[in-house]
Amino acid sequence: MKIQRLIIAGGGTGGHIYPGVAIAEEIRRRCPDAQIAFIGTARGLENKILPPLGYPLELVTATRLKGGTVAQKMLGLLRLPRAIWQSWRIIRRYRPQVVVGVGGYASGPALIAAWVTRYRTAIQEQNAAPGLTNRWLGRIVKRIFVGFEAATARFPAKKVIFTGNPLRLSIAARLGTTESTRAPNTLALLVFGGSQGARFLNEEIPGLLTALKAANPGLLLTVTHQTGQAEVDLTSERYAELRAAGVPVDVKPFIHDMPAAYRTADLAICRAGALTLAELAAVGLPSILVPFPHAADNHQEANARVLEAAGAAIVATQASWAPDALVKTIEGLAASPDALTAMGTRAADLAHADAAVTLVNHLEALAA
């Protein structure tokens, strides 16, 4: 049964929103007239991402229930009944065949409202370590789609389906094998921390790469570093010594064409968000992953460890940050193109290019 009416609930970050957009795109590919609406909050990135894409965004007053101060938690708890009521009114208006939660403040109230009124429900869990909210919601929804196989053990076995994380059509279509030649003693580095950048990487990587070049004067190094808007100038200044050594450094607040950046890189140094890792796998790009230590339930480190265990990445946590050791590690990779290629092949083995197709197939079965 083709899905003609769908609600996708959640947001806050791109990591929650873009899997929902990928699901919506696949449904529209099959049924161009499908009515798809998102439920989010006024403070989330969904307000910037969704309107240009043409998807209706309905707002509820949900706020955090974990993390933050005691006052913030209490406020979130007090607002929950109203958010459930608001979600119920939206669901009653759209009458969706399925309500899908993708994580974020609005996901819980919408799924509770849908469950109470007996609409079909599902969640898409992006991370290897599911958060408490999704683990609880897993008890009431009909289907649970996970981006990492490791997450299946945290949900009821009869409901959970491992699909991989869905990528947007515009991204997935352009991700392919890297164009880099990976010549000996030549290294094209891509450094990034998500759409907002990563302060830790902005502060630490310029000095680390300066030390790498000083220890290896013959290394043909190029650097592309995405910083986020707030720290582009300061990060660029930190690269002054490396530029003086003749290294081409391109510091950008934002990279609009990530597929092109992936394809021309030999190695990425980046955070370990679920969608970032899905894209690294899709392009077969080896990486040094620096998980954000304050991510909920430390899910970024759990994500990163999956790639590390497969031999596709090296994990360097902030708590155990050791620049001298990392210089040695990068030296070894630069000197061994075969090692980089092997890491890239193992990354590609983890890719799920058909995740959106598989997921929507199951949604259609659920709708039927």
Tell me the DSSP string of 294-361: TSGGGHHHHHHHHHHHTTSEEE--STT--HHHHHHHHHHHHH-HHHHHHHHHHHHHT--TTHHHHHHH
Where does residue 194 fall: left (phi above 0), alpha (psi -120 to 50 degrees), or beta otherwise? left
What is the enclosing helix (H) or strand (E) of 30? helix 14-30
Q: Which DSSP category does 130 fall into? A: -
Gap between the Cα atoms of 183 and 302, Å rounded: 32
Q: What architecture (CATH level 2) is domain 186-349?
A: 3-Layer(aba) Sandwich (3.40)
pTM: 0.91
- Torsion, Cα of 206, 208, 213, 216 (10° steps): -170
Report the candidate in 240, 237, 128, 235 with the shortest Cα–Cα distance to residue 191. 235
Sheet of 98-101: strand order equals: 57-59, 35-40, 5-9, 98-101, 120-125, 143-146, 160-162
Q: pLDDT per residue over 62-97, tens digit each?
A: 766 566 666 655 655 566 889 999 999 999 999 999
User: Could you state, in order of their start, the residue ranges of all structural domains in the chain?
Assistant: 5-167+354-367, 186-349
Cβ atoms within 10 Å of 77's Cβ, excluding its own: 12
Amino acid in the structure at residue 85: W
Gap between the Cα atoms of 196 and 292, Å rounded: 13
Q: What pLDDT, on the 0 to 100 scale, is given for residue 12?
A: 86
- Could you please state the CATH topology (level 3) that the domain comprising 5-167+354-367 is classified under: Rossmann fold (3.40.50)
Helical segments of 144-198, H only: 169-172
Ranges under pLDDT 70 in the chain: 63-79, 176-181
| Cα–Cα distances in angstroms (integers) from residue 316 to residues 76, 221, 266, 319, in the given order | 34, 21, 18, 8
Cβ atoms within 10 Å of 241's Cβ, excluding its own: 15
Asked if residue 16 lies in contact with residue 105, where contact means CB atoms within 8 angstroms, the answer is no
Gap between the Cα atoms of 288 and 2, Å rounded: 41
Domains 5-167+354-367 and 186-349 share a fold: yes
Q: What pLDDT, on the 0 to 100 scale, is given for residue 1?
A: 81
Q: What pLDDT, on the 0 to 100 scale, is given for residue 241?
A: 97
Tell me the DSSP string of 258-270: HHHHHHT-SEEEE
Gap between the Cα atoms of 145 and 36, Å rounded: 19
Cβ atoms within 10 Å of 48's Cβ, excluding its own: 11
Half-sphere exposure of 104 toward its Cβ, with a 13 Å CA cutoff? 31
